[in-house]
Amino acid sequence: MTFVQPTALWALAALPLIVLLYILRPRHQRVVVPSVRLWQHLSSDLEGRPRWRLPAATLLLFTQLVIAAAIAATLARPSLPGSIGQHLILLVDTSPTMLSTDVSPNRLALAVEDARQMVASLNNEDRATLISIEPIPRILASGKGPHALDAALDAVKVSPARGDVQSALALAAQTADLSPDTHNRIVILSDGTFDQVSLKSIGAIPADLAFQQVGGSDDNQGITALSVRPMIGSLNRYLGFVQIANFARRDVQVGVQATADGLTIYNRKVTIPARQPVEISLSLPQGTHLFGVTIDTPDKYSLDNHAEALVPGARAIPVTLVASDPTIWQRALKTLPTVQLKVVDPASYKPDDAAVTIFDGFIPASLPMGSIVMVAPPPGSALFPVAGNQPSTTIVQVDDSNSLFDSVDLAGLYVQQPERLGTMAWARPIAQGGSGPLILDGELNGHRTVVIGFEPAATDWPQRIAFPIFIANLVDTLAPQSLPSLVSPGAAVDLPPAPHATSMLIRLPNGQVDVFSNGDRPVRFADTSQRGPYVVTDMNGATPVTSREFVVNRLGVSESDIAPRVDPQVLTRNGSPPGKPTQHEVWPWVAGGVLVLLASEWLIYFRRLVG
């Protein structure tokens, strides 16, 4: 037995005090005499004189000593040692791919059931913590005992976007760091469809780390890209492009149906080779507003079997091209009927009001007010630092989530001696070569800016279909517009109010309508978990003023590849402190015994008085 508060044992000093009180207490013997007159003149100082002898071992003295000792023991909180304390920290992945049905009923449900069984094996004094792997991970619940996480596990649901495993693991490490006296275990329950995690960047993890994979099939066919582009040489006519990828290791035939404003314009069976994509180009009827594609396939993941894209309305976009040799740029830009192109020689350039300005190998003394595309900037600029050249390389990594690469495939593009771009705090790399970034995207002094660290004319990029599509993406993305045409699930959208509008109605894909009162600032709308078109209607009282739309889609190869990509051994290691035995406190029983003894003492004393 041990004591939680051993300093309280100082209360045992009351035992000798009780004995001393019994020694000092005067002792009288009751004697029946016929008269007390003979003792009236005796000295009174003899009365109550103590006799320094041990008191008689009476039941009352024994009871009081036991009571005092029991009270001291109660204050010291006696406890019996138990097993080593456990702290189980569960990380449950809620990424959309966890809805894959290669396990029954799906990966997320199986992960939750596995988590429930792990918690059920804990003792009453063990602790459990549940962390949800979301874009911003969070702790859902924490408590003691085998049922501490039951309610939280019942409420787990899939996130609209892929979770951040790196941040979730860092949060779990911080949680384990707060439990130095327990044996800590971190278990990641996931399908492993995320990139490798850098444990080194997290630092020391005071817990045993384990990865438990849920599911493992690659049987999926999905829409990985969907876009609408102006038809070359035609005004207000558009082409729809769709890419469908087969991630299985066998050829698969899928049904493909394309619609224009709900009317079917394409309905065929398409065979997709194993681990390959196919691309389909469709001419959209004039006046098409919403282009949709659906695939019919018995795969294991259905969230990528349908996608929609808005057909942009006609608008004039002024673009200024500043280049000594504008040939490749003119060829791509003239295919865009909405672009009003102005070509300027670098020697005579002056800033204008163009929506997008492309500088090829030239940096002006002062930048324009619109968006900027800086191509192969020359050395000597503080805004666009260049430190020599990199070795010749191929593009090895592209940020598929960036709208500039929508339907653009740069895999294997060979770049000869690209520029070694210096650090630009305002930009982030979106295309990487073997030795550093090749394309950057950011916001410079409030203006969207894209930096291309090589000359496209020195590559075979202009001969690929990907180049004019990339230029179209540049213009669409960088030209100011009231709403983005494509939004990722879960992302927030700033909706500027229309002039003279008093309220804003937002109709979600499921028909639900959210109402907001207009103020001086844009409405930040974050309820974008549903996929499909959102209609924003500005109202002046009961009268509609304007109507705008945006579409929520989650496209990309990484979003549809449901096969595990992480090595479980990388996320398996030992690092927990040894932990200390749990303490089962028994002071309530001791306190109950004290009450019984107090009642016994009172009965003894009462009987003595009565007797």
**What confidence tens digit (pLDDT) does each residue in 375-402 have?**
999 999 989 999 999 999 999 999 988 8
Using a 10 angstrom Cβ sphere, with 0-12 exposed, 13-18 middle and 19 or more buried, the burial of residue 264 is exposed
Question: CA angle 473-474-475, nearest 5°?
Answer: 95
Q: How confident is the model at residue 50 (pLDDT cuts 50, 70, 90)?
A: low
Whole-angstrom distance, CA of residue 588 vs CA of residue 609? 32
**4: pLDDT confidence band, cut at 50, 70 and 90?**
low
- Give Cα 448 to chain centroid, integer Å: 27
Q: Coil, strand, or helix at residue 202? A: helix
- Predicted TM-score of the model (pTM): 0.67
Judge whether residue 37 has pLDDT over 80. no
- Per-residue confidence band for 229, with pLDDT thresholds at 50, 70 and 90: confident
Q: How many CA atoms lie within 13 A of 116 on its CB side?
A: 13
pLDDT at 441 over 60: yes
Task: Indicate whether 534 pLDDT > 80.
Answer: yes
* Rounded Cα distance, 230 and 238, in Å: 4
Rounded Cα gap, residues 193 and 561, in angstroms? 7
pLDDT tens-place string over residues 267-288: 999 999 999 999 999 999 988 9
CA-wise closest residue to 317 among 478, 123, 504: 478
Give backbone dihedrals phi and psi of 24, rounded to 5 degrees, phi first.
-75, -15
DSSP 437-505: EEEEEEEETTEEEEEE-S-GGGSSGGGSTHHHHHHHHHHHHHS--SS-SEE-TT--EEEPPPTT--EEE
Q: Which long-range contacts (CB under 8 A, 24 or more apart) does 107-116 make?
A: 107/191, 107/214, 107/215, 108/156, 108/158, 110/214, 110/215, 111/189, 111/190, 111/214, 112/153, 112/156, 114/189, 114/212, 114/214, 115/90, 115/149, 115/153, 115/187, 115/189, 116/149, 116/150, 116/153
Residues paired with residue 431 on neighbouring β-strands, in sequence order = 398, 439
Tell me what pLDDT residue 481 has.
67
Q: How far is CA 602 from CA 17, 60, 598, in A?
A: 20, 9, 6
Q: Are 317 and 342 in contact (CB under 8 A)?
A: no
> CB count, 10 Å around CB of 546?
16
- The amino acid at residue 96 is P
- Specify the pLDDT at position 572: 92
Is the separation of the CB atoms in 433 and 366 below 8 Å?
no
- What does each C-alpha distance from 529 to 160, 303, 489, 554 come to in angstroms? 5, 12, 5, 10
Cα(359)–Cα(452) distance, integer angstroms = 10
The closest of 218, 298, 285 to 254, measured between CA atoms, is 298
Return the pLDDT at 47. 52
Give pLDDT, residue 268.
97
